[in-house]
């Protein structure tokens, strides 16, 4: 049975809510920078991830694009070019893709896939557009123009990694809680596939724990590489101190945090909510 599509009015309201909530959430951490000195810590990606799961790709994609533009522009005090050049297209493509993946057939496995694909693709787009198109071509900032192409690429990849590892735990651990809460409180808004999975099925603990644990172990290995191999000398020659120390701290800190979270999820008796199924409201 094909589920009835939500009315356009509901999708429009969802898009507006996504944009407003994402703007507020993004602005709340707008002044926490990355170790690279550009880019910010952003837990608020849980908001467009939630809207992508419940309402589909278009409200989430447009809402995320507008929300990030509002947050960045309020932070800088004017319509910020770095946002509409880099952040807007990256957020739109990323969360449209998230909604497209989970909307075809919702399972928690697809949710994990969408989380990883979105955070990789969206952050990669934002990082490369921000460094190459905004900083180098649009602003022609000397600090970035004088960098070698290798350094510019490494900076873009470094930003992508930092955003990915700081966003992933929030999307995987917080968004399912929001989905479950809305599925229980307002079941008519939530698609039946999502509602059934949210209310009656426990999240796949092993899959979720591995999705957090593996990136954590990779970050630790990258930290060890910067300490004990020539990679560290290469990074230090590009960025110098204290940026190099902050980069090492990012690798070790994020790696240990993700690893510990993955172990906690794996060893817990239940994940996020009890195993006992919750009955759907009778129609």
The answer to whether 155 touches 122, Cβ cutoff 8 Å, is: no
184 located within any domain: no
Last residue of a domain, one of 130, 153, 172: 172
The 3-class secondary structure across the chain, one letter per residue, is CCCCCCCHHHHHHHHHHHHHHHHHHHHHCCCCECCCCCCECCHHHHHHHHHHHHHCHHHHHHHHHHHHHHHHHHHHCCCCHHHHHHHHHHHHHHHHHHHHHHHHCCCHHHHHHHHHHHHHHHHHHHHHHHHHHHHHHHCCCHHHHCCCHHHHHHHHHHHHHHHHHHHHHHHHHCHHHHHHHHHHHCHHHCCHHHHHHHHHCCCCHHHHHHHHHHHHHHHHHHHHHHHHCHHHHHHHHHHCCCHHHHHHHHHHHHHHHHHHHHHHHHHCCCCCCCCCCCCCCCC
More confident residue, 35 or 275: 35
What CATH number corresponds to the domain at position 101?
1.10.1760
Q: What is the pLDDT of residue 238?
A: 75
Domain count, the chain: 2
Q: Are residues 56 and 119 in the same domain?
A: yes
180 located within any domain: no
Q: What is the pLDDT of residues 88-129, one digit of tens each?
A: 999 999 999 999 999 988 999 999 999 999 999 999 999 999
94 located within any domain: yes
Q: Are residues 221 and 97 in the same domain?
A: no
88 located within any domain: yes
138 located within any domain: yes
Q: Are residues 157 and 244 in the same domain?
A: no
282 located within any domain: no
Q: Are residues 17 and 87 in the same domain?
A: yes
Q: What is the pLDDT of residues 30-85, one digit of tens each?
A: 999 888 888 899 999 999 999 999 999 999 999 999 999 999 999 999 999 999 99
93 located within any domain: yes
How many Cβ atoms from other residues are within 10 Å of residue 197's Cβ?
21
Q: Are residues 67 and 163 in the same domain?
A: yes
Region 259-281 average pLDDT: 68
Indicate if the pLDDT at residue 276 is higher than 80. Answer: no
Last residue of a domain, one of 151, 172, 193: 172
Cα dist from 205 to 19, 49, 109, 208, 215, whole Å: 31, 20, 11, 5, 16
Q: Are residues 24 and 70 in the same domain?
A: yes
Q: What is the pLDDT of residues 150-184, one digit of tens each?
A: 889 989 998 999 899 999 999 999 999 999 899 88
The answer to whether 159 touches 123, Cβ cutoff 8 Å, is: yes
Indicate if the pLDDT at residue 278 is higher than 50. Answer: no
Q: What is the pLDDT of residues 185-236, one digit of tens each?
A: 998 888 988 888 876 666 778 888 888 999 999 989 989 998 998 888 878 8
Residue range(s) defining the domain that contains residue 92: 8-172
Give the residue carrying structure tokens 């199924």: 277
Q: Are residues 133 and 214 in the same domain?
A: no
Q: Are residues 213 and 164 in the same domain?
A: no
Q: CA 276 to CA 255: how far, in whole Å?
A: 33
191 located within any domain: no
Indicate if the pLDDT at residue 272 is higher than 70. Answer: no
Q: Are residues 86 and 215 in the same domain?
A: no
Look up residue 191 and give its two tokens.
């698609």
Q: Are residues 16 and 135 in the same domain?
A: yes
Q: Are residues 126 and 23 in the same domain?
A: yes
pLDDT band at 1; cut points 50, 70, 90: very low
Q: Are residues 163 and 220 in the same domain?
A: no
């Amino acid at each position: 049975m094909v589920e009835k599509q939500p009315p356009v009015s509901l999708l429009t309201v969802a898009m507006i809510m996504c944009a407003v909530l994402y703007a507020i959430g993004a602005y709340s951490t707008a002044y926490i920078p990355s170790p690279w000195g550009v880019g910010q810590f952003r837990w608020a990606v849980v908001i467009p991830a939630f809207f992508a799961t419940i309402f589909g790709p278009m409200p989430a994609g447009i809402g995320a694009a507008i929300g990030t533009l509002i947050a960045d522009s309020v932070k800088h005090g004017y319509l910020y070019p770095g946002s509409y050049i880099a952040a807007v297209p990256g957020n739109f493509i990323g969360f449209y893709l998230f909604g497209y993946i989970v909307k075809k057939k919702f399972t928690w496995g697809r949710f994990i896939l969408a989380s990883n694909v979105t955070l990789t693709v969206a952050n990669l787009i934002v990082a490369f557009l921000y460094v190459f198109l905004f900083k180098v071509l649009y602003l022609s900032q000397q600090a970035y123009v004088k960098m070698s192409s290798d350094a510019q690429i490494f900076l873009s990849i470094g930003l992508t990694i930092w955003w990915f590892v700081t966003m992933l735990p929030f999307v995987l651990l917080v968004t399912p809680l929001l989905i479950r809460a809305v599925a229980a409180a307002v079941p008519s808004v939530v698609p039946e596939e999502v509602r059934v999975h949210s209310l009656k099925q426990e999240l796949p603990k092993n899959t979720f724990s591995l999705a957090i644990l593996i990136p954590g172990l990779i970050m630790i290995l990258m930290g060890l590489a910067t300490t004990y191999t020539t990679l560290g000398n290469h990074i230090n020659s590009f960025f110098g101190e204290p940026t190099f120390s902050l980069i090492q701290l990012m690798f070790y800190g994020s790696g240990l945090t993700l690893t510990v979270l993955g172990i906690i999820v794996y060893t817990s008796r239940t994940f996020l909510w009890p195993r006992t199924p919750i009955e759907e409201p009778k129609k």
